[in-house]
Structure 1
Amino acid sequence: MRRLAPYQSGLWLAEYGDVRCQLCRIYRSTPQSRLPQNHSSASPPNDHSFFTKLRQRFDDRFHSGLLCIRCHHSIAWLPKSFDVDIAVGKTLSIQAATYYDYPIRQAIRAFKHHEDMTKLPLLLHVLRQLPRPHGCHYDNSVIVEMPTTEQRLVKRGFDPVSILAAQLSKHWHIPLWHGVERIDNTVSQQGLTRAERLGNLDNAFALIETPPVKRLLLFDDVATTGASLQALGRTLYDQSSSLAGVNSQNSNPYQLSAYALAHGSEL
C-alpha cells in the first residue's frame, strides 16, 4: 500500500470531512465544483473519461469543499501578471494566484515559518485559482520549483515550496523537474530592497541537466519583487542555451513563464 505524505491525510480530512469554512470557520464550506470558476479546471480540457466522470460524481456527493462562497470571493482576485527582465530583449511573465495580504499572508507565514499544516488546505484552494498555462500539458512542459539547499532544508525541517509545487503539478497534470540546484551563498531575501535582492541572488542557481522539454513553468510561493524568479529565469535562459549548444540568445529554444501563490509587499 502506498504511504501518504504526513500532510496528505490532513488534506483529505479537510476537503472531504470538514463542513466548516477553513477561513472564517463560521459558514458551511462549498464544494469546489459549485464555486464560481474564473480560471482553469483541475482536469485537462475535454477530458470525458470514465474515471474523470466518476471522480466528479464522488466530489459532488461527498466533497464538502474548503471555503464558503463569501471567503472564496474575498481571496479570488487574480492579480495582474507582471514582467521582469532576464536577458536583452527577453522578459519573464509572473502570474500570482492572489495578493500577499490578510488573511493569506498570515496563513503563508504560519505554514512556512511554523510548519502549520492546518493552513495548507486554504493555500491549496488559493493555488488552484492559477490559470492553466495555455497549450501546456504533461508531455511538453515541466514545473520548475524554486530550489532550496540541504542546509536550509535541515534548518527548516521541510520545504514549503516543494509541497505546494507537488500539489500544483497534480492539479495541472504537469510533471515536476528538478534539474536546477541552489548554491548556498546567499542570505535571506526578507527585508532587502529590490536591488539588494538581485545582487544577493547573483550566481545563486546552476543547471545540473538539460531541460527535457521546451516549456518551463517556474514556481515560487511568494513573489514580492519577483527577484528570485528573475534570477532563476536568467539561469535557465542562459545556461540552458549553453547545455543545448545554442550560441545566440535570440535562438534560445525554451519558453519560460513563472507562477506564484501570492504577490505583494511583505509589510
Structure 2
Amino acid sequence: MRRLAPYQTGLWLAEYIDMRCQLCRIYHSTPQSKLLQHQAPSSLQGITGTPPTRTALKKHSFLTDIIHQANSYLSSGLFCAHCHNDITWLPRPFEVDIASSVSLSIQASTYYEYPIRQAIRAFKHQEDMTKLPLLLHAIRQLPRPHGCHRNNSVIVAMPTTNQRLVKRGFEPVSILSAQLSKHWQIPLWQGVKRIDDTVSQQGLTRAERLSNLNNAFALIKKPPVKRLLLFDDVSTTGASLQAVARAFISPTAVKSTTDSSHNSYQISAYVLAHGSKS
C-alpha cells in the first residue's frame, strides 16, 4: 500500500472521521450538493498517489487524480453552511473600458480576503494542493453566463509567459479554468499569447498596471465563436483582463483574423476573487 501524502491524510480524516468544517472547525460540514442545490458526484475514489512535488505536478495523470479527489471531497462537504455563506458573497460585477463606448463586465465569485486570499497565494506560489478544494468550491459559485453553452462560447484563460511557466513549474490559472470549463460545460480556447515579459502586477497602481500591459497580448488564431468568457484567478483593478479583451478589438486582431466583424465579439470576464467586502 502506498504511503499517503500529508494533504491526502488530512482530507481523508475530514471526510470520514472529523466531519468538522475545515475553516471554522466548529460546525459540521455540509454536502456541497445541498449548498448548491444540484447533483454532484457522491462517491469517493481510492486515495492514492505521490506527494505533490514540482516534477509530479507536470504529469497530467497525477494532476487529474488530485483534481478528481478534490471534487469528491467537495461533494461530501468540507465547509459548514455558515462558512460557505461567508466566503461566497458573489460581489456585484464591475466594468472597465476596453474601447470607445465598449466596456468589459467582470464578475468575481468572492472577495479577495481571508481565507480565499491565503488559499490563492499558497496554491500559486507554494504549489499547495490542499487549498484546491476551497478554490474549486468558490469557482462553482460563479453563475453560468446567460445563453452561453458549448456551441456558442469559449473560455479564455489568462495566458502567462514561458519564463513564468518554467519558473513556477505549473500554471494555476489553467488548472482553475479547466475546472470552470468542466463545471459550465463550455470549452477552453487557447488563442491568445502573452508576447512580452512584463513584471508582476502586484503592488502597482492602476496607471502602472495599464502601462505594464501595453501590447502584452496578441491573437494567434481566430476565435471559433463570438462569445468569449475571459477568466483569471484574481482581479484587482481589471487591468490584465482589460488588456486581453483589447487584443480582440485591436488593429492587429483585425489583420490576423481577417474578420471585418471583429467588434461583434461578446466579451465578458470572470475571476475567482476581487476586492474586499469593506
TM-score range, shorter chain: 0.7 to 0.9
2:197 to 185, 189, 195: 185
1:118-151 Cα deviation digits (max 9, x unpaired): 0110011011110100010111110000001111
CA RMSD of aligned residues (A): 2.7
Alignment partner of 1:258 is 2:269: yes
Paired residue type of 1:200 = N
1:232 to 240, 244, 253: 244
| Separation in 2, partners of 1:27, 1:241 | 55
Aligned to 1:116: 128
| Separation in 2, partners of 1:141, 1:13 | 37
| Separation in 2, partners of 1:184, 1:244 | 21
TM-score, length-scaled by structure 2: 0.78
Residue 15 of structure 1 deviates from its aligned partner by 9.6
**Secondary structure, counterpart of 1:261 in structure 2:** strand
Residue 244 of structure 1 deviates from its aligned partner by 3.8
Unaligned runs of at least 5 residues, structure 2? 1-7, 45-72
Alignment of 1:101-250 (within 5 A): 101-238=113-250, 239-247=252-260
Residue 199 of structure 1 deviates from its aligned partner by 0.2
Distance 1:77 1:14, change over 3 A: farther
2:82 to 70, 80, 98: 70
| Separation in 2, partners of 1:115, 1:26 | 27
Aligned to 1:44: none
Paired residue type of 1:168 = L
Aligned to 1:48: none
| Separation in 2, partners of 1:81, 1:185 | 29
Distance 1:171 1:13, change over 3 A: farther
Alignment of 1:92-103 (within 5 A): 92-103=104-115
Paired residue type of 1:158 = F
Contact 1:14 1:121 in 2 (8 A): no
| Separation in 1, partners of 2:133, 2:22 | 8
Residue 113 of structure 1 deviates from its aligned partner by 1.2
| Separation in 1, partners of 2:102, 2:12 | 44
Percent identity between the two aligned chains:
69
Residue 112 of structure 1 deviates from its aligned partner by 1.1
Aligned to 1:3: none
Contact 2:230 2:270 in 1 (8 A): yes
1:159-186 Cα deviation digits (max 9, x unpaired): 1111100100000000100111112331
Residue 16 of structure 1 deviates from its aligned partner by 6.4
Distance 1:197 1:119, change over 3 A: same
| Separation in 2, partners of 1:104, 1:73 | 13
Distance 1:67 1:192, change over 3 A: same
Contact 1:94 1:258 in 2 (8 A): yes
TM-score, length-scaled by structure 1: 0.81
1:4-38 Cα deviation digits (max 9, x unpaired): xxxxx89x96996673323223332211121165x
